[in-house]
Amino acid sequence: MTFELADRVQAVPPSGIRRFFEIAEERDEVISLGVGEPDFSTPWAARDAAIASLEQGKTSYTANRGRADLRESIADYVADRFDLGYDPDEEIIVTAGASEAVDLAFRAFVDPGDTVAIAQPSYVSYEPGVVFAGGEPLPVPTHEEDDFRLTVDALEDAGAADADALVFCYPNNPTGAIMTRADLEPVAEFAREHDLLVFADEIYAELTYDGEHTSIATLPGMRERTVVFNGFSKAHAMTGLRLGYALGPADAIGAMNKIHQYTMLSAPTTAQYAALEALDSCANDVREMVDQYDRRRRFVLSRFREIGMDVFEARGAFYCFPEVPEGFTAEEFAEELLREQGVAVVPGDVFGEGGAGHLRISYATGLSELREALARIEAFVDDHEGPE
Ligand code: PMP
């Protein structure tokens, strides 16, 4: 082959989610509870702002770190919503999705051979991201009996005391777990004691249904060792506009900007106008979408319990993570459910250690579709119940 893949690219398997989408495409009338993106469209005010910016011909690059007015709005927003204090000039960078922010952080702070502990089950990009940066991922399985929260026991059992950095995401994709301030305190202490950098993916922060989201960066001694990722894809239903940001100490954000200015120049300009308006005038739209997700969450959890499938109480993001009934692996359940009933879900194994035996169910889908999907899941479980 003319193009011989770099070792670090060869080391990463293709995404495990893809295969299910391919089967889903072969069938008619598939209801997908597989994708992790809002079914809502971007609030109109944000779309209008993007359209107006195009009409006015505002299509040039912006400052590398993003428009100054947007960084100021982000600083006000995170201060107001999450009690996070960051200087818009030095401590915030606007990126092409939270995805770019995650990638920049790994490349800026991970040296070849460095170990990055990853709380799992987790969003699928961290492990490849660490490998692409030349580092060694260290999975840290979390457990259902801990409600999938990250604990010091889990960190110790995985050997994370010797790691260089730790990445985690709460509210969590794929489990829907959240971590309160009290849950985060021992993790923060562990990070300080073992001198770990912390990468906190808080992209689902707004989608917290039980209490308020707490960022680990607000805990004592954590701001100086933490980079927080967030963005507009989930809460503001802007996935395709590709806009996110990172918050961190000035030297950390400066290092990330050094890579960003050579590899990206600046985040998408049209999306920056949409985001500015989203922060300015769309708080009610966000609240309405969060209310809808919460209603769906309660419906889905109660239906799984009626069906007789164990499911822990997801309190954030737009996922729940039921256990597959005995007699199936998660992959078998997902594949047979898709073939027999036309419902697409994602087997938990895809999300790393701790995910086996579970399914990720996204409820970023309308209630009537959810109702039909759960009826089909019930029929599937009934069909397969009883003695073999
Ligand atoms: N982090 C998590 C936990 C996610 O679930 C996703 C999207 N599925 C991302 C980051 C990427 O978000 P963005 O669209 O902002 O790149």
Q: Taken in order 210, 211, 213, 219, is the CA torsion positive or negative?
A: negative
Helices (H), the chain: 7-10, 18-26, 44-55, 68-82, 97-109, 126-132, 152-158, 181-193, 250-263, 269-281, 283-307, 330-341, 367-383
Are residues 357 and 323 in contact, defined by beta-carbon separation less than 8 angstroms? yes
pLDDT at 198: 98
pLDDT at 276 over 60: yes
More confident call, 386 vs 106: 106
Residue closest via CA to ligand 1's atom 4 equals 123
The answer to whether the CB of 98 is under 6 A from ligand 1 is: yes
Quick: pLDDT tens for 209-250: 989 999 999 999 999 999 999 999 999 999 999 999 999 999
Quick: pLDDT tens for 254-268: 999 999 999 999 999
Average pLDDT, the chain: 95
Helices (H), 110-175: 126-132, 152-158
* Interface predicted TM-score (ipTM) of this complex, two decimals: 0.99
CA–CA gap between residue 123 and residue 129 (Å, rounded): 11
The answer to whether the CB of 239 is under 6 A from ligand 1 is: yes
Confidence of residue 16 (pLDDT cuts 50, 70, 90): low
Give residue 187's identity as a one-letter amino acid code: V
Domains of the chain: 7-42+284-383 (3.90.1150.10), 44-282 (3.40.640.10)
Contacts 24+ apart (CB under 8 A), 66-75: 66/92, 66/93, 66/94, 66/95, 66/245, 66/266, 66/267, 66/272, 67/94, 67/272, 67/276, 69/276, 70/94, 70/272, 70/275, 70/276, 70/279, 73/275, 73/276, 73/279, 73/280, 74/245, 74/247, 74/279
To test ligand 1's pocket by mutation, which of 206, 233, 238 has the most ligand atoms within 8 angstroms of CB?
Answer: 233
Least reliable range by pLDDT among 175-184, 326-335, 379-388? 379-388
Quick: pLDDT tens for 288-303: 999 999 999 999 999 9
Report which DSSP code applies to 145.
Answer: G
pLDDT at 42: 98
Quick: pLDDT tens for 87-126: 999 999 999 999 999 999 999 999 999 999 999 999 999 9
pLDDT at 25: 75
CA–CA gap between residue 1 and residue 188 (Å, rounded): 48
The answer to whether the CB of 244 is under 6 A from ligand 1 is: yes
CA–CA gap between residue 226 and residue 216 (Å, rounded): 8
pLDDT at 23: 74
**Cis bond upstream, residue 14 (ω within 30):** no
CA–CA gap between residue 96 and residue 108 (Å, rounded): 16
Q: Exposure pattern of 295-330 as b/e (b: 16+ CB <10 Å)?
A: ebbeebbebbeebebebbebbbbbbbbbbbbeebeb
Closest atom, ligand 1, to C-alpha of 37: 8
pLDDT at 387 over 70: no
Question: Phi, psi at residue 112, to the nearest 5°?
Answer: -55, 130
Separation of CA 99 and ligand 1 centre (Å): 6
Residue closest via CA to ligand 1's atom 2 equals 123
The answer to whether the CB of 175 is under 6 A from ligand 1 is: no
**Cis bond upstream, residue 220 (ω within 30):** no
**Cis bond upstream, residue 121 (ω within 30):** yes
Closest atom, ligand 1, to C-alpha of 204: 3
Residue 213 burial (10 A CB sphere; 0-12, 13-18, 19+): buried
Separation of CA 56 and ligand 1 centre (Å): 30
CA–CA gap between residue 183 and residue 205 (Å, rounded): 16
